[in-house]
């Protein structure tokens, strides 16, 4: 099981959150990534995610996404990618199955009234109506702080059964994902961190490979296949 974070998409030109110049140094997380922020100023929240969606659509998968897709192709059904990323670069690199977007996806729209889901247009606005119930309460299908991440049962089941847990390009600061390494360790599962530098959770991993994802991940995948 491979957990990915913003560091995997950094070299595709998408900003991380907590690095120097990261998104949370420029935006107030409570204003743009919480249900309360959306209730207060939905236009500001849509503007934030419209910009993220535009960046993601203009970006291309990098060598790390490609290598992970190559690993999945070499070991069909054996490699589950759990991503905290809301971009679709894993899919565009060829990871078309066994990908869980635990924090949602920029490509999705969600009705806050009836929970209907559909493909997000490139630009969303507070006036947009739900195609099913027509309420003007559409939001990006993104998991905000204070909400439950998606498919957690499936993730914990896979984690308990996996032979190796790898975290790539994530700072280990946001739970529940940050706790996966401890769950894996408690179950006696081997753990590996791949990150630009030691993360907050580095001490929990059995092994670490530090450096840019586009260099480390392809090399690591080569050693596996
Ligand atoms: P962070 O921005 O917290 O951490 C990114 C990690 O990637 C850091 O540890 C960097 O050192 C590392 N990194 C940066 N560039 C890299 C590169 N080229 N190669 C390898 N590693 C690199 O991002 P996440 O851990 O993904 O949630 O953040 C987790 C969640 O916090 C996000 O999903 C988002 C955010 O708030 C929500 O919005 C709900």
Looking at residue 200, its pLDDT comes to 83
As a whole-number percent, the residues of the chain with pLDDT over 90 amount to: 96
Q: Whose CA is nearest to atom 26 of ligand 1?
A: 5
Band of residue 66 on the pLDDT scale cut at 50, 70, 90: very high
Q: Is pTM beyond 0.95 here?
A: yes
pLDDT tens profile 145-161:
999 999 999 999 999 99
- Looking at ligand 1, which atom is closest to the CA of residue 4? 26
- CATH number of the domain that 17 lies in? 3.40.50.1220
Beta-sheet pairing, 2-4 with 164-168: parallel
Catalytic residue among 65, 103, 210, 219: 103
Q: Can you tell me whether residue 97 is helix, strand or coil?
A: coil
User: Could you give phi then psi for residue 204, rounded to 5 degrees?
Assistant: -85, -15
Cα→Cα distances 20→24, 92, 180, Å: 9, 27, 25
Q: What is the pLDDT of residue 21?
A: 87
> How many domains does the chain divide into?
1
Q: Residue 185 CB: number of other CB atoms within 10 A?
A: 15
**Residues spanned by the domain of 189:** 2-224
| Active-site residue flag, 116 | no
Instruction: Place 201 in a pLDDT band, splitting at 50, 70 and 90.
Output: confident
SS3 182: helix
Checking if the pLDDT of 113 tops 90, the result is: yes
For the segment 108-122, the average pLDDT, to the nearest whole number, is 97
Q: Find the 173 Cα to ligand 1 centroid distance in Å.
A: 9
In tens, the pLDDT along 14-34 reads 989 998 889 999 999 999 999
134 CA → ligand 1 middle, Å? 36
Residue 53 pLDDT: 97
Residue with CA nearest ligand 1 atom 2? 17
Question: 16 CA to middle of ligand 1, Å?
Answer: 5
């Amino acid at each position: 099981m491979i957990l990915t974070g913003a560091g995997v998409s950094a070299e595709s030109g998408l900003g991380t959150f907590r690095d120097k110049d990261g998104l949370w140094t420029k935006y107030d997380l409570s204003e743009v990534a919480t249900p309360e922020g959306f209730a207060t100023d939905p236009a500001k929240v849509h503007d934030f995610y419209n910009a993220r969606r535009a960046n993601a659509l203009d970006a291309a998968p990098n060598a790390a996404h490609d290598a992970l897709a190559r690993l999945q192709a070499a070991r069909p059904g054996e490699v589950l990618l759990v991503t905290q990323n809301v971009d679709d670069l894993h899919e565009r690199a060829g990871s078309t199955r066994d990908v869980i977007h635990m924090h949602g996806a920029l490509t999705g729209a969600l009705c806050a009234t009836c929970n209907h889901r559909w493909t997000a247009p490139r630009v969303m606005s507070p006036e947009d109506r739900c195609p099913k119930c027509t309420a003007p309460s559409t939001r990006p299908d993104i998991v905000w702080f204070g909400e439950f991440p998606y498919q957690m049962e499936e993730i914990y089941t896979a984690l308990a059964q996996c032979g190796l847990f790898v975290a790539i390009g994530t700072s280990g600061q946001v739970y529940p994902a940050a706790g996966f390494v401890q769950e894996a360790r408690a179950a006696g599962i081997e753990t590996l961190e791949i990150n630009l530098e030691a993360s907050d959770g580095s001490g929990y991993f059995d092994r670490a490979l530090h450096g840019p994802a586009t260099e480390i991940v392809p090399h690591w995948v080569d050693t596996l296949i």
